[in-house]
Amino acid sequence: MNQFSLKDRIILITGASSGIGRSCSVECSRSGAHLILIARNEEELQKTVSMLTPGTRTETIIADITNAENLEELIADKVSILGKISGFIHCAGIEKTLPLKKHTAQIYTDIFAVNVISGFEIAKILSLKKYKNETSSFVFISSVAGVVGEIGKAAYSASKGAVVSGARSLAMELSRSGIRVNSVSPAMVHTPILEKMFENIGEDAAGEILKKHPLGIGQPEDVANACIFLLSEASKWITGSNLVVDGGYSAH
């Protein structure tokens, strides 16, 4: 048996319309999973669906995860179609790089709503017996910014640190329900979020960041492969961990 296979598992992925979430969707389908994909942009989400391995059973939910009171209902509907869920990747995230003097309380609120709260709220739903398989694995995408300081990232870093520590507590609480919980902390990965950040900070600062990655900037599939490991039986003794996937960035 291939311990890394996700054959016939049902995996729910947020942020599936772009970047790392899109790559997680593609790689999970390649590993045999069937998928429930969530994002706001329907056109981009359909583009992800068109990239999946033929035969992948896929359901989509078009929703703002920070503002969807009926999210449980929407998920319940998809579970009734595909079956109970045995994996969750929270990839949805937003980033802002701004000097501290430009940070406002609203910026912290907005970032925490997507990066932290909605992920943990979905985990709450997926930990209910009626939606979960006997065993399950939750993966939260954090960032090296959660553990390494970076200029202009107070709100973003705080949210990513919260993801790591919250996931660790969930791991303790949910182990008796057969659910493993881990986070993954990437450094810079080629995605739209990165391009936007580089536009904001300018060429010199971007060049400095690039220099700090001994293995260069990552590709979305580098993160997706780590997620597949954490969802699969190959990681059945791993919970409460934060897997750093950063091309050597935090080894400095």
Binding site for ligand NAP (CB under 6 A): 14-15, 17-21, 39-41, 44, 64-66, 91-95, 114-115, 141, 143, 186, 188-189, 191-194
Closest CA to 197 of 147, 143, 127: 143
- Smallest gap from Cβ 13 to ligand NAP, in A, equals 9
Is residue 10 classed as helix, strand or coil in its secondary structure?
A: strand
Question: What token pair was written down for 77?
Answer: 């509907």
199 HSE (CA, 13 A, CB side) = 8
Count how many Cα atoms sit within 13 Å of the Cα of residue 23 in the half-sphere of its side chain.
19
Residues 6+ apart with CB under 8 A from 31: 4, 5, 6, 7, 228, 232
Q: Which has the closest alpha carbon to 20: 164, 238, 222?
A: 222
> With left for phi above 0 and alpha for psi between -120 and 50, is residue 210 left, alpha or beta?
alpha
CB of 188 to ligand NAP, least distance (A): 4
The DSSP element (H or E) to which 76 belongs, if any, is helix 71-82
Q: Which residue, 20 or 33, has its beta carbon nearer to ligand NAP?
A: 20
Identify which of residues 157 and 232 has a Cβ nearer to ligand NAP in the complex.
157
Give me the least distance between CB of 194 and ligand NAP, in Å please.
4
Closer residue to ligand NAP, CB minimum distance, 150 or 233: 150
* Cβ proximity to ligand NAP, 109 vs 135, nearer residue: 109
- Beta bridge mates, 59: 36
Nearer to ligand NAP, 5 or 194 (CB): 194
Shortest Å distance, C-beta 178 to ligand NAP:
26
Q: How many CB atoms lie within 10 A of CB 41?
A: 13
* Residue among 108, 131, 156, 249 flagged as catalytic: 156
The interaxial angle of helices 154-174 and 118-126, nearest 10 deg, is 20
156 is catalytic: yes
- d(CA 46, CA 179) in angstroms, rounded, equals 30
Write down the least CB distance from residue 242 to ligand NAP, Å.
12
Of the two residues 17 and 136, which places its CB atom closer to ligand NAP in the complex? 17
Closest CB 196 distance from ligand NAP, rounded Å: 7
Q: Which amino acid belongs to residue 243?
A: L
Task: Report, as residue numbers or ranges, the catalytic residues.
Answer: 156
